[in-house]
Amino acid sequence: MMQMHPYILNINEDAQLSGVVKLFIQEGDWDIGLCDSSPTSICIRGLGIQERHAVFRNEQRRVTLTPLTGSKVTVNGNAVVQTTELQHLDRLILGSNCTYLFIGFPSERGGDDWSRYDYDYFLSELAAAEGIHLGKDKIRYHIFIY
């Protein structure tokens, strides 16, 4: 399966548990969310995960992710509310803290080292998108006035 299809790889707070779960995205539409009996669903559990949370579409060697109403989905630190095309090594947060790394088609992979994308990387990226920059010894807040 890994040689044929893109997949999402779990990233966990405990580094030893990262990369243990691989959820494959085969051709067609795949609902992701709390478990149901549908043969085209990907089951996950976690804080803020809805019954039907989002839909992955794998079509013509493109994978998109569409959040469903009321679902929290973040791609590369930015909240998304509409269909987004995924790129190899995109970082996904589903719900409050279900973190995954998108691994694209085999032709996109090369010799990538995904180990730098640990749980802290996800949180730092999310914080930066919200205007909080984490330095070695300080936290800087940016206030935007509209």
Mean pLDDT of the chain: 88
pLDDT of residue 101: 97
Strand partners, 33: 43
CATH number at residue 63: 2.60.200.20
Which residue segment(s) compose the domain that 128 sits in?
7-141
Q: What is the pLDDT of residues 88-105, one digit of tens each?
A: 999 999 999 999 999 999
Whether residue 2 is contained in a domain is answered as no
**Burial degree of 73 (CB within 10 A; 0-12, 13-18, 19+):** buried
8 A C-beta contact, residue 143 and residue 117: no
Query: What are the CA-CA distances from residue 141 to residues 81, 128, 135, 146 (Å)?
Result: 25, 9, 11, 16
| Rounded CA separation 49/36 (Å) | 13
User: Within the chain, how many helices (H) and strands (E) appear?
Assistant: 2, 13
- Cβ pair 35, 41 in contact under 8 A: yes
Of the pLDDT bands very low, low, confident and very high (cuts 50, 70, 90), residue 138 is very low
The pair of structure tokens assigned to 130 is: 């919200």
pLDDT in tens, 14-60: 999 999 999 999 999 999 999 766 777 899 999 999 999 999 999 99
Whether residue 2 is predicted with pLDDT greater than 70 in this model: the reply is no
What does the pLDDT read at residue 132?
Answer: 80
10 class by beta-carbon count within 10 Å (0-12 exposed, 13-18 middle, 19+ buried): middle
**Considering its fold, how many domains does the chain have in total?**
1
Residue 40 lies in a domain: yes
Looking at the predicted structure, is the pLDDT value of residue 139 above 60?
Answer: no
**How far, in Å, CA of 136 to CA of 90, rounded?**
25
Summarize pLDDT for 95-136 with one digit per residue, the tens: 999 999 999 999 998 877 788 899 999 999 998 888 887 665
